[in-house]
Amino acid sequence: MLIEISNKKLQDTPSDAKIIFVIDKNLSHRWIEDKEELELLGFKSENEEATFINTHKIIYVGCESLEADNIRLACAKALECIKKTNIKTLTIGTYSHNCPGINIKAMAEGFVLGSYVFNAYKTNKEAFKIEKITICLEDYEQVDVSMQTANKALHVGKTIAEVTNLAKEIINITPQDMTPLALANEALKLASLPNVTCKVMDKEFLEEKGMNAFLAVNRASVHPPKLIHLIYKPENAIKKIIYVGKGLTYDSGGLSLKPSEHMVTMKADKSGGAAVLAILKGAALLELPFEVHAIIGATENMIGGDAYKPDDVLKAKNGKTIEVRNTDAEGRLVLADCLGYAQEFKPDLLIDMATLTGACVVALGEFTTGVMGHSDELKSSLLGAASKSGELGAVLPFNKYLKKLLKSSVADMSNISSSRYGGAITAGLFLDNFIDDENKDKWLHLDIAGPAYLEKAWGYNQCGASGAGVRMNLYWMIEESKK
């Protein structure tokens, strides 16, 4: 699908249909040609409301305000409204009375995110019919915006949304196809980008590094583990940002076996790994001025005669010992060793991303990422960027009392809390044991278990993977690059 900028007026630009935002309940905008029909239909100009009036070939979409996320949602809903038609070309004005660049970027994101279709396993694939969308540099207050500004905003918005869709695709692919090796091969494709390199390490490397927690999780899988390390290194980088992603290509729960209904969707346990891969690709395509690393611990957590067991004691890369009390708390074991490896490269910022706990979903709901760490400034900075990106995030605060619940009588710590309460925070506090003192205030833990994968459509997200965390982190880096 081509998205282009035009400096022609909306009415002078040919297309199969126009998209018109309905922003006020009075239906007063000069582009609205079907006020009587909309009143008859009871159109209320609310978010997620859309209708197609065939008479004038106009898609009317409710948009309660011109905030960026409402624009994203309206653009995606416009595409959804006509997905069964044979419309191939669309036009839309910019509505740019305040921020033309922001509006164009949001439109690009909404159209690209809304156009995603996962049909890899369908025999009869439904083709996405829209071929071209033209954004006309016209709005009701005739604000002057240059083609250069508009095209830059379009490029940024498209790039952010396209790499988010890449993360969705990787997550949605089933475990028999997206094995640790297959995930490594996806990462290796990125090495064709300027300033990007990729290394993939195997079991022998993990053994040499003493990454025994990671190795234990992998033991019962027929698929060997992969430690994937992507690096984007532009000239004169101003900061080194290292992302660590949980890449569980499938999680059965191990010997602490999940109920069968909870195993469905566990292909999504690689969402953190897919997200950090997509973030790095986005940083490279946008030529951001940071050295960005994406480190992914890729493995399955399976059952078998060689599976690691409750009661085992594991020695992690940093020398600390872990009593295993539940083999379904495996992601934190993989991350513990990957975080140890990541800190060898002296990060200025260190962020891990994982579908880590169901407790985070209980605490915050399905749509919100849990943000944890020691630095209030860092948490606030990320959440500010998240709000601009359209992703939802909320802080879950550490405290010294919850940390005591990880004590073990036989090892340095247990891999689960002794209490059922505060599980998302105790998982973050477990990871804190593997963050060096000099990196405590540089580290954030993002639990994306809620928004990463839902078996229902929501907003501009389709059923399945959402690419959670990709947009908020790219927005964050863009904000940081301006400081």
For residue 448, which of 341, 350, 330, 360 has the smallest C-alpha distance? Answer: 360
Average pLDDT over residues 71-85: 97
Q: Of 304, 148, 119, nearest to 223 (Cα)?
A: 304
Catalytic pick among 332, 379, 442, 471: 332
Strand partners, 340: none
Q: What average pLDDT does this structure show over 178-203?
A: 98
Of 118-127, 236-245, 250-259, the range with the lowest mean pLDDT is 118-127
CATH class of the domain at 178-481 = alpha beta
Structure tokens that stand for 364 in this block: 């915050």
* 261 has a pLDDT exceeding 80: yes
**Band of the pLDDT at 142, cuts 50, 70, 90?**
low
258 included as an active-site residue: yes
Residue 146 has pLDDT above 90, yes or no: no
Burial code (b: 16+ CB inside 10 Å, e: under 16) for 165-191 equals bbbbbbbbbebeebbbbbbbebbeebe
What's the pLDDT score for residue 273?
A: 98
Instruction: Out of 35, 258, 315, 320, pick the active-site residue.
Output: 258
Of the listed ranges 61-65, 136-140, 259-263, 280-284, the least confidently predicted one is 136-140
What mean pLDDT is predicted for residues 18-37?
89
At 143, is the pLDDT very low, low, confident or very high (cuts 50, 70, 90)?
low
Instruction: Determine the pLDDT at residue 441.
Output: 98
Q: Which residue has the tokens 């409301």?
A: 49
In the predicted model, is pLDDT for residue 140 greater than 50?
A: no
Say how many CA atoms lie within 13 Å of 12 toward its Cβ: 7
pLDDT band at 101 (very low <50, low <70, confident <90, very high): confident
199 is a catalytic site residue: no
pLDDT band at 144 (very low <50, low <70, confident <90, very high): low
Q: How confident is the model over 157-184, as a mean pLDDT?
A: 98
Query: What's the full length of the chain, in residues?
Result: 483
Report the CATH architecture of 2-162: 3-Layer(aba) Sandwich (3.40)
Q: How far apart are CA 110 and CA 460, in angstroms?
A: 7
Q: Where are the domains of the chain?
A: 2-162, 178-481
* Angstrom distance (rounded) from CA 7 to CA 138: 7
Per-residue pLDDT, averaged over 93-111, amounts to 85
CA 130 and chain centroid, separation: 25
Domains 2-162 and 178-481 alike in fold: no
Count the neighbouring beta carbons within 10 Å of the beta carbon of residue 76: 26
Query: Which residues are registered as beta bridge partners of 21?
Result: 61
First to last CA, the chain: 34
CB-based burial label for 108 (10 Å; 0-12, 13-18, 19+): buried
Q: Binning pLDDT at 50, 70 and 90, where does residue 102 land?
A: confident
Q: What is the pLDDT of residue 483?
A: 84
What's the pLDDT score for residue 28? 79
Give me the chain's average pLDDT, please.
96
Residue found under tokens 């975080």 = 339
Residue 100 has pLDDT above 80, yes or no: no
In this structure, which amino acid lies at residue 23? Answer: I
> For residue range 353-366, what is the model confidence (pLDDT) as tens digits?
999 999 999 999 99
